[in-house]
Structures are given as C-alpha cells and as structure tokens.
Structure 1
Amino acid sequence: MKTSDFYYDLPQELIAQTPMEPRDMSRLMVIDKNTGEIEHKIFKDLIDYLRPGDCLILNDTRVIPARIYGVKKETGAVVEFLLLKQSENNVWECLCKPGKRAKVGTSFVFGDGIVECEVVDVTDDGNRKVQFKCDSKEIYTILDKIGKMPLPPYITEELKNGELYQTVYSKELGSAAAPTAGLHFTEEMLKKIEEKGIKIGYVTLHVGLGTFRPVKVDDVKNHKMHSEHYHISKETADLINDTKKNGGRVIAVGTTSTRTLESVATKNGCICEDEDDTSIFIYPGYEFKCIDGLVTNFHLPESTLIMLISAFAGYDNVMNAYKIAVDEKYRFFSFGDACFFTDIK
C-alpha cells in the first residue's frame, strides 16, 4: 500500500489543544471491526462494551520532562535536547536543535551548571548520543528541576499542569510522549471496570518518537521504525493467557500496548514474561496474534498509527470512521477523543 492511501483531510480547528476534564467525558466512537457499524458514545460508556472475563491491558509508562536546553561550553550557544532513550553508563539518545551545534566531543551545561553532558556519538538517522556527568538515577531528579514536558508540536497552548499529560496509572519513568489512549481513564472508571469482572493488566513500553515519525517513503513496507523498550511481567502474561483460555477478550489500550503484546507474541510464539527492544511495524496484511479489541485516539494522516489500526479493523472501516469523525467534529490527536474497535455484537 502507498502512504498516500492513509491521508485524510483534517481541519486545523479539530486538533485538541487541551484535555477534556473530567477525563472520561471525552467522546467515544465505537466501531465494529467486522462490519464497520458505528455508534457515538461518551468515553465512560466504554464499560458497557466490556464483558466479564475480558482483560484490559494498559501501558504504565510515565512521561519524563524530557525537553531541556543546554549551553555550549565553548561558545554559549543554546541547543534544545529532547531525551528519547537511556542506555548504559547514563548515555541518552536525543534529538538536538540545531543539530549542527552538537558535534561529537562538544560539551553542554544545563540549569546554570546543575549538570553537564558530552556528545559521544551520532546515530544513523542523525540523533545524538550524549553522556550526562551524574549518577544515572539522579538524572530524573535533575529533569524534574530543569526539564519541560515534551508536548507534540501540534499542541501550541501551554500545559499548566503536567499531570494532565500523564495517565492516572503511570508509574515507570522513561517516555518522551504519553500513551495517549490511556489519558481518558479516571481512577473511578478503572474501579468500576474491575467491579464488573474485567481484569486489568499492565505492560511497559517507553514511548520514543519512532511511533510518531512521519512516513517519508511512498511504499509503506519500506518504512523503518525506531526501536522502543518494553517489558511484560509474568503476572500480565498469565492474565492474558488465562483470559484467552477462558474465552475472554484481550483489549489493548493504545497502540503502544498493542505493539508490546504483538512484539512478544511474534518473537516468542506465545505471550510470556519478556523484556526487549521492539521496532515492530504493523500495517495492513499483518496477522494479529494477541489482541481482540483496541481502544485508541484519532491519529495523524499518513502515520504508522493509522496504519496499525487499519491492519486491525480493516482499511475501509477505519478510513470511513475517520471521515465520519471529521464530519461529526470529533477532537483529534493526543488530547482528543477516543475510538474503540471491537466486535459490537
């Protein structure tokens, strides 16, 4: 398929700039993945479509204030760093603007001297690897002091409360972007879901920018995804396997949870405890090995995310749903409304 097949026209005014409050009062489009039938609901109505014996799988990653500004020690020039992924010895892969000022061997000072880093490498796609001169655990405390929440560029309004860009169940620090499908849940709603007999499990996938990078090739299958780190516990794996064994459905909340589960199933041939990096790219033609339903937001045109849900629910069903969402003035992207692809009947 061509990248242009996944284009749709989105008026600028439909891009949500602020989150809905309360969270579970955003709109919810429910789409039957088999027939394409559509129902218009409120997000808290999701519970009506979940059945006792189902399980809901959430990504418990937590966004770090990953946007920081460094001063080049040699010249005083200011460079923006967006931290993407931590590796050994407190080395982080970063996006730098302007990149030409961040050559290998150059050093930068942050927060009036609170911490320094040195550029140690350049990746194949132009990102920088920098080593911070502090304890690897201390870096998170430092980021809380000097960092800013890395909101997507299409959100132009300042976020006054950073917790609005975190899920209520976020726990594991490490993401450069939020798993936004989970932003709709409240603690009260999660409690009601469990009281109905739906089990809740957690995976961790630290969201980098690979998921959101634009697809720049004409032929979809030639696109290369950036790798992201994931972990699934034995407890969650057992929950999923028991759910399947007993005839329940595995409902993934978000494309990040989906990619985690499908990565594990593809790699191991089953769902089991696992920790690894994944660069899985799911587009039409992919055969799903784990999930039975998907809760997600409305995604950018020509993105890998709209390709993933098209693989799950059918290209025609998804593109028709997006057309209707535009016509009905749903709110789009990170702070926007949600959709649930499932078997309604």
Structure 2
Amino acid sequence: MIEIVATGPLNTVQDLGRPGYRNIGVTACGAMDPLALRTGNVLLGNAPDAAGIEVQTFPFRVRFSQSGAFAVTGADCRATLDGMPVPPWWTAEAGPGQVLELSPPLKDARAYLCLAGGADVAPVMGSRSTSLRGGFGGVQGRMLAVGDRIATGMAGGGFLPKGGFGVVPPAMAMKDAFPVAEGGALVIRALPAGEHDLFGADAERFWNQPWKISARSDRTGYRLSGDPIHPTEVVEMRSHGVVPGVVQVPPAGEPIVQMSDANTAGGYPKIAGVIEADLWRLGQARIGSLLRFVPATHAQAKAVEAALAAYIADVHRTARLVSQALAAMA
C-alpha cells in the first residue's frame, strides 16, 4: 500500500491498455511509454502488463505504508527515497513510512513508478488503465490526488540486493536502433498511409521538414507545428478507424499524431503511420520537441521490434540472474 503525498495534474494509473473495444468507441488508453512500464514490471518480477503510475507533472511523492519493492523508469526524475538518491531505471526496496520523491526531469516527459505486485485497482474491460475522457479505470477514472491510497497485488519477484539494481536505459542500450538527428530532433520512422499520395508535392515536405510538438498536445494526440501541408484537392472522407501512431492532417494543414488515448475514428486524411516500435519515444517527447519523420519499410519496422524484444529479454535475464545469485547466498 502506498499513499499519494504530493501530485499534480494528469498523473494516473496506467497499464498496457485495453485493446478490443474500439468498435464500440472505447479507446485503449495505456502508458504513453509502454517500454518504460514493461521494463519496470520485469525488474520487479511482475506480469509485463501490471499497472503502474504514469507521472508527467512533478514533484510527485508517495509514502509506503509497508515494506515493498518498487522500480522507477522512464524520464530521469532524480528520484530520492527519504532524501537518498535512487538511480534512473532502478529497482529497490522501501520500508514502512519511507517517502519516494520524483522531481521534474531535465529531459524526457514521463516517469513510471512500478510497484511489486502492481497497482491493485479494479480492472474495467480487462484493464486498470485510467480513461480520463471516459471517467473510468484507474482510481475512479480520474487523476491521482493527495491522500489517495493504492494497494498492491501479490508480489512475485525474487531477491533484491541491498540498495537495489538497475539496467541501462533503452535510449542508451539501443542507440544504434533509435538514432537522433542533427540538432537533437527525434527521428520517427513511419509508413506512408492511405491518403499519402493525395498530398502531391506537399507529401515530400512532410518528410523533409522538422515538426515541433505544440502546446495543444496531450495523451490523445500530438499537434505538430510547421509549414502546413494540404491535399492537392479537397477530399470528402467518411470517418474511419484510427489507432495510435496514425498521422492525420486537418484542414489547417498541421499534422496530428494519434497517441495512447487516440480517437477511435476520424475523417481527416492520413498521410503516415508511425511504426509501433517508435511510439515509446514519442511518449517521452516534451512540448516544443522537434521531430523528423523518416520513411520506413515493413522490414525495417520488424528489425526495430526485434531490437526492443532483445532489450526486454536482456532485462529478464538480468533480473533472473540477480535473484538467483542472492538466493544462492541466502
């Protein structure tokens, strides 16, 4: 059990989402950086889809009511436990009454607090993720508030060394698979979508210019600022299903990238679709960040997915070896 001591807007309980209900208008929700949540759960021996806390406004503080292991992943938020530093991408043990504090990160947007056994809130449609628009899931379908108490499930992890242990952050461990463009822009790989060719010469400008994430962005979608692009002629389109990663272009000509709380349907023309393996990087992009879209092939997308799978497998292996070594010493 933990108690929320300090929090800000938009901090919520999230897991990997609730797929399978888009046909009735229910968005999947889930972590904006699913890789960070999954890694934290693996470090703790949780199920990969166990619920954790997504923190995007700081400072954030929780008090542990009883002893329990935790992991902090995602943005480096200079975490401390009773004032003692906790490294990023790290798992450790907290004692009764100890306070974990997450401070504003110097880069990246979201930190994830995973708890041994997972955040034990009532599942809705098979998921514990919070839908703020729908008002369900998580803690009463709302943002976390001071005084909220969150129980944890049955812990399934192994032994932890004194002081804990961690892993190399994915951006560093897989820097060859996730490059950064000159000037610090994120390189986001995407496939041309259904209406790509309707944009004529503007389609080339979509790929060649940098785009900035505007302040009008949220978990539903990132609105991008740049030189507007338009179809060569006005197109009347019926609403069609959309998913996270779809890049739509409204009449104003500035694209919108659908994110974790993506709309279930929309009628704007689609110029591209971000490959799934790059969505975690978008989830960590801050307001004002620059993006460059790069055309990808299906083969390239599969290769990046393989790199992510290898990283998670390595985290599994590390956690297992640490636990086995400590068990042998016990």
TM-score class, shorter: under 0.3
Richer in helix (by share)? 1
Q: Which has the bigger relative contact order, CA under 8 A and spacing at least 6? A: 1
TM (norm. structure 2) is: 0.26
TM (norm. structure 1) is: 0.26
